[in-house]
Amino acid sequence: MSTTLTEKKMPEPRNGVDTPTLLATINAVGAQPELAQFRFRAVNRWQQGTHSRTRIQSFYGAGGEQMHEREFIYGADHPTVLVGRDQAPTPVEFLLHALASCLTAGIGNIAAARGVTLHEVESTLEGDIDLQGILGLSDRVRNGYRSIRATFTIKGDAPAEKLAQIVEQSHKRSAVYDVITNGLPVEIVVNAR
């Protein structure tokens, strides 16, 4: 990837991306792949009913323990129509946030690496779900979304085709898109008292 990039114009900061540092980071990780091993963490605590809160701060990566600049705390709940108290969005809406923000972060980086200045990136995500699954009413209905659609509007100083290619490359290299389209093993351990 670095070879391809250096064949293009010299990288410069763009779209709020420190492009030279981004490319230097990619090169550093290429030379020392153990720096690429990351472990992200979240600690969730039940509040009441369907309401819980998650704290996010520490993670491992780049060869050592890291901390976000501050602790981030997010609630999640069910809406009143699903007998929750609507203290926060539902868990499945946070999936849409994770997917949209991962694709959009990739668009910011890829555009900068390709020398494209972005003017606007907006996306609307919709996920269809039949709640007969989670309500235990049908074993033929899956619990999760059956499909998700993401519609992007992207504007920048490049031809439409090049802008569309940036969006395409972003999903080819998106961590959340990979998880949501391909799945992965989840291990659950329980300490009950």
| Residues 28-67 interacting with its own copies (rule: CB under 8 A) | 29-30, 33, 36-52, 54, 56, 59, 61-62, 66
- Residue 10 or 180: which CB sits closer to its own copies? 180
CB of 158 to its own copies, least distance (A): 9
DSSP 14: B
Length of the chain in terms of residues written: 193
The b-or-e profile of 41-61 (16+ CB within 10 A means b, else e) is eeeeeeeeebbbbeebeeeee
Q: How many CA atoms lie within 13 A of 116 on its CB side?
A: 24
Cα 100 to Cα 106: distance, rounded to the nearest angstrom: 10
Among 11, 127, 140, 157, contact with its own copies (rule: CB under 8 A): 127
The interface mask with its own copies, positions 132-171, x = CB under 8 A, is: xxxxxxx--xxxxxxxxxxxxxxx----xx-xx--xx--x
- Residue 10 or 189: which CB sits closer to its own copies? 189
Residues whose CB is less than 8 angstroms from the CB of residue 54 and which lie 6 or more positions away in sequence, other chains included: 42, 43, 44, 45, 73, 74, 75, 76
- Kindly state whether residue 78 participates in binding its own copies, applying the rule CB under 8 A: yes
Among 8, 72, 117, 157, contact with its own copies (rule: CB under 8 A): 72
- Kindly state whether residue 3 participates in binding its own copies, applying the rule CB under 8 A: no
Footprint of its own copies on 82-121 (CB under 8 A): 82-86, 88-109, 112, 118, 120-121
How close are the terminal C-alpha atoms of the chain, in Å?
A: 51
